[in-house]
Structure 1
Amino acid sequence: MTQVQHPENSGNHVPIVEWLLPSPNICEKKFEFCGHLLNISRYFGGNLGFAASIWESALVLCQYFEQEKIDFSGRKVIELGSGTGIVGILAVLLGGDVTMTDQENALSQIEHNVSTNIPSASRHRSKVCALSWGKDHMKFPTDYDVILGSDIVYASLAYPLLLKTLLHLSNEPTIIYLCSKLREGNQSSRFHEKLLPQHFNCQLVHRVEDKDINVYKISKLSATTRDDPLM
């Protein structure tokens, strides 16, 4: 049974039931980004839903880090909706102090991939925590240097909760990288073009045209700008 840390390195641990079914199917796939070979396991049959997939947006975000030679050294990072953990794991390997978050039933999958891909000497820079957007986000600090998310803009009913969480976790110097596949019917374009700009500067920095996947670099508007009715 995996032991998962609470936020803020409290030293407390909670037991996580590994899988709801006795013999989930395990699929492993290898990737290489930034000179690091990643062996990512996915668990099917464990009631993980979306978290059991490696979404194209996660791979595009990893490719963007490689393309831009992004270095997370000395940065305090949190990833939302980590799923398999591939993006957060790469951020650790690129020097970051990374907290990977998702629903509680996905944490064991992330922990397994962390233990497989992050050397023991660097594992102290990785944490895995449950985070339910808009509900327990207040348990987390507000001083992250970087926030990561890949394909987390997919359910319009969750957009207010995601916004609330991003607002809490970030401050003005925080850089947010969101990689989103734009889908018809879920208003993902509206989230990036209408909702986010009410609180954040939102810049499109990379696009994969044939897959309709965008990478956005986002930063929080100053309090003065947000409060100015003319802005």
Structure 2
Amino acid sequence: MADVQTCTLLSEEEKLDALDPLRHLRAAADDTEDVSDIVPAQRPSILNQTVELAFSTVSTSADRIENNHVPEERGSEDRVVIKLMVDASPGCGGVAWPAGEVLSRYIARRGLSSMKRKTVLELGSGTGLVGLVAGKLGGDVWITDQAPLLDIMRRNVIMNDLSERVRVAELDWGTPIPFFSDFPRHPDVILAADCVYFEPAFPLLVQTLAELVPVPSLSVTDAQPEVLFCYKKRRKADKRFFALLKKEFSWTEVADDPDHEVYTREAISLLRLIRRSR
């Protein structure tokens, strides 16, 4: 969820990120044995270029039967491959940022069944990367952002042959949730990556999250959605976002990601948000 004016407010460090969105993760992984396995390759370009990203996943015998594969006794490693148009001209949301890579890798690692038949909503989608991965994993996905980024998201949906699983919608944080007949007002899964960067938008993002996740109640038996929130700490002002967030949500670090130490060294956190009771 970004525009050109927002990009001008980013620090010099973030401008370098725009030229090569994965440079921080590559630097963090320099001392590991399998750098390419942690950080998908991406050409450093931000002007109307196409990149291809691959994320390891695991398919079960049931997954392979459903997808006309030969079943195997044990899980078999596969890849989720995403073709991605990146273009900074509509705003810095038009490029792939590190936290989106981390969240995409995490949900892919959970397996081809992790999103199957679940309603998934991504906030601040930008290029749509995380939502596209969720679509490849079988989710019924909506990717959302501001109007200038809708075109690049639509192109990426078509490029990945996901028109039947992934839909695009405009959603400005802090505004009413769209009243499309099939828009998920209370989805099963909410995904958000690299959404903490522009201080005036902090209360708006919290407002939208709170509207999407109902307050737990003894009289309401509906299951709470899973909210996965990945962000890169860039400035002290980020603390103000979490001060606002804690009024509505608590959170825990995602503990079952083997890449946790790698991205933590680069100030990237992957959190699971839990709605507070009143």
Same fold flag (TM > 0.5): yes
Q: Choose the corresponding residue for 1:215, options 256, 267, 270.
A: 270
Q: Choose the corresponding residue for 1:41, options 85, 92, 103.
A: 85
Q: In the alignment, what sits opposite 1:165? A: 208
Return the offset for 1:197: 2.2
Following superposition of structure 1 onto structure 2, how do residues 1-231 of structure 1 map, counting pairs within 5 Å? Answer: 25-33=47-55, 34=57, 35-45=79-89, 48-69=90-111, 71-119=114-162, 123-137=163-177, 139=179, 141-171=184-214, 172=216, 173-185=224-236, 187-192=237-242, 194-205=243-254, 207=260, 208-222=263-277, 226=278
**In 1: Cα distance, 2:86 partner to 2:130 partner:** 14
Counterpart of 1:156 in structure 2: which amino acid? E
Aligned with 2:230: secondary structure?
A: strand
Return the offset for 1:66: 3.0
The answer as to whether partners of 2:203 and 2:241 remain within 8 angstroms in 1 is no
**In 2: Cα distance, 1:141 partner to 1:68 partner:** 23
The answer as to whether partners of 2:142 and 2:167 remain within 8 angstroms in 1 is yes
Return the offset for 1:147: 0.8
Aligned with 1:164: secondary structure?
A: helix
**In 2: Cα distance, 1:180 partner to 1:93 partner:** 23
Aligned with 1:59: secondary structure?
A: helix
Counterpart of 2:269 in structure 1: which amino acid? N
Aligned with 1:198: secondary structure?
A: coil
Percent of residue pairs identical: 32
Deviations 1:121-140 (A, max 9, x none): xx322110011111233646
Return the offset for 1:75: 1.1
Return the offset for 1:37: 1.3
Please give the TM-score of this superposition, normalised by the length of structure 2: 0.65
The answer as to whether partners of 1:203 and 1:217 remain within 8 angstroms in 2 is yes
Aligned with 1:162: secondary structure?
A: helix
Deviations 1:115-171 (A, max 9, x none): 11135xxx3221100111112336465321111110001112111111110111123
Aligned with 1:218: secondary structure?
A: strand
Going from structure 1 to structure 2, the CA distance change for 1:138 and 1:129 (only over 3 Å counts) comes to closer
**In 1: Cα distance, 2:273 partner to 2:88 partner:** 33
Aligned with 2:272: secondary structure?
A: strand
Alpha-carbon RMSD across the aligned residues, in angstroms, is: 2.0
Larger radius of gyration: 2
Richer in strand (by share): 1
Please give the TM-score of this superposition, normalised by the length of structure 1: 0.77
The answer as to whether partners of 2:125 and 2:192 remain within 8 angstroms in 1 is yes
The answer as to whether partners of 2:124 and 2:145 remain within 8 angstroms in 1 is yes
* Runs (5+) with no aligned partner, structure 2: 1-45, 58-78, 217-223
Going from structure 1 to structure 2, the CA distance change for 1:163 and 1:44 (only over 3 Å counts) comes to closer
Aligned with 1:124: secondary structure?
A: coil
